[in-house]
Structure 1
Amino acid sequence: MSNYYLSLGITAEELDTLKEAFNLYDVRNQGYITIGQFSHIISSLGIDCDPKQVAKMADMNNDNQIDFNEFVLTMFRYLPPHEPAPVCFKNDHIYTDKDIATDEEIMQWFQFFDKDHDGRISQNELEQVMIMFNSRLSKKEIKEMMFTADINRDGFIDYDEFKQLLPPL
């Protein structure tokens, strides 16, 4: 799973910090914190949003608990922006900044995902591509990918959101 976080631009150091923060609230080592605890975390960070709404959105599997993965994905969304790690993954190969794609290549990748060519990638289209790549991602992991990428929360990944997933050119 660490390759998944790295591909999102979360560094190992940031992941360690998030794990420490999560463990401060998961004092019984249950693997989750309550929605109320998470709402308190969001509120205490001074993030300009409704903490209860953020906590509700973070609970991707609707079990009224925030597991570590939900915590990381949500905190990553609301923490101050940082420079993403200069790597990306393709066919289990790690590409560094010297291998970074051009705008034209990114558009071709986007169009590959955008099966119905409506200028946006739906969760269904993302699932189709993951199946084509023989990905073993669960529906929950694909939903988490959508949550991470869909910055404007319209239920789709547009080109600008797609491009932000990739390392800088």
Structure 2
Amino acid sequence: MAFKTTSLNHNISEDGRRELTMKEFKRWLMTFDTDKDGRISKSELRQIVKANGGWFSRVKGREGIKSADKNGNGFVDESEIENLIHFAHKELGVRIIPY
């Protein structure tokens, strides 16, 4: 399955939410890891919001990092990606499905 870096294309549920497995979600997030350090920064998260048609990407990027960055280093790393699920559901219209 190929992901575009400009939009999230996958199964759309009846309520209009995009559905991804956790593996697909992680792989998609990493397409925005522009410096290839294995972490998502505030600016990279801002690009994710913009790419999905979100408004106020600067504010939402900051909110997303704040909610997911449990160790306070300013990045979302592999161990914290699951913390982005709520943010992705609320701000990106993504539902993570079990598979």
State the TM-score, normalized to the length of structure 1. 0.38
Q: Is the 8 A contact 1:106 1:163 kept in 2?
A: no
The CA deviation at 1:132 is 2.0
Cα distance change of structure 1 residues 124 and 138 upon mapping to structure 2, 3 Å threshold: closer
CA contact (8 A) 1:115 1:125 kept: yes
Equivalent runs, 1:1-169 vs 2, <5 Å: 93-94=16-17, 99-103=19-23, 105-166=24-85, 167=96, 169=98
Higher alpha-carbon deviation: 116-125 or 130-139: 130-139
Q: What amino acid is the match of 2:58?
A: K
Q: Which runs of 5+ in 1 are unaligned?
A: 1-88
Quick check: 1:126–1:142 contact (8 Å CA) kept in 2? yes
Percent identity of paired positions between Structure 1 and Structure 2: 32
User: Aligned-pair RMSD on alpha carbons?
Assistant: 2.8
**Residue 149 of structure 1 contacts residue 157 of structure 1 at CA under 8 Å; is this kept in 2?**
yes
Q: C-alpha deviations, 1:80-120, integer Å up to 9, x for none? A: xxxxxxxxx99x8225xxx55052x1331121221221110
**Aligned in 2, Cα 1:108/1:119: closer, same or farther, shift over 3 Å?**
same
Aligned residue pair count: 76
8 Å Cα contact 2:41-2:74 kept in structure 1: yes
Deviating runs (4+, > 4 A) in structure 1?
none
Letter of the 2:21 partner, please give it: A
Q: Which structure's relative contact order is higher, taking Cα pairs within 8 Å and 6+ residues apart?
A: 2
* Greater Rg over alpha carbons, structure: 1
Aligned partner of residue 114 in structure 1, secondary structure: coil
Residue 146 to residue 93, structure 1, CA distance change in 2 (3 Å): same
> 5+ residue gaps in structure 2?
1-11, 86-95
- Per-residue CA deviation, residues 36-87 of structure 1 (Å, 9 max, x unaligned), is xxxxxxxxxxxxxxxxxxxxxxxxxxxxxxxxxxxxxxxxxxxxxxxxxxxx
Structure with greater strand share of residues: 2
Change (3 A) 1:154 1:168: farther
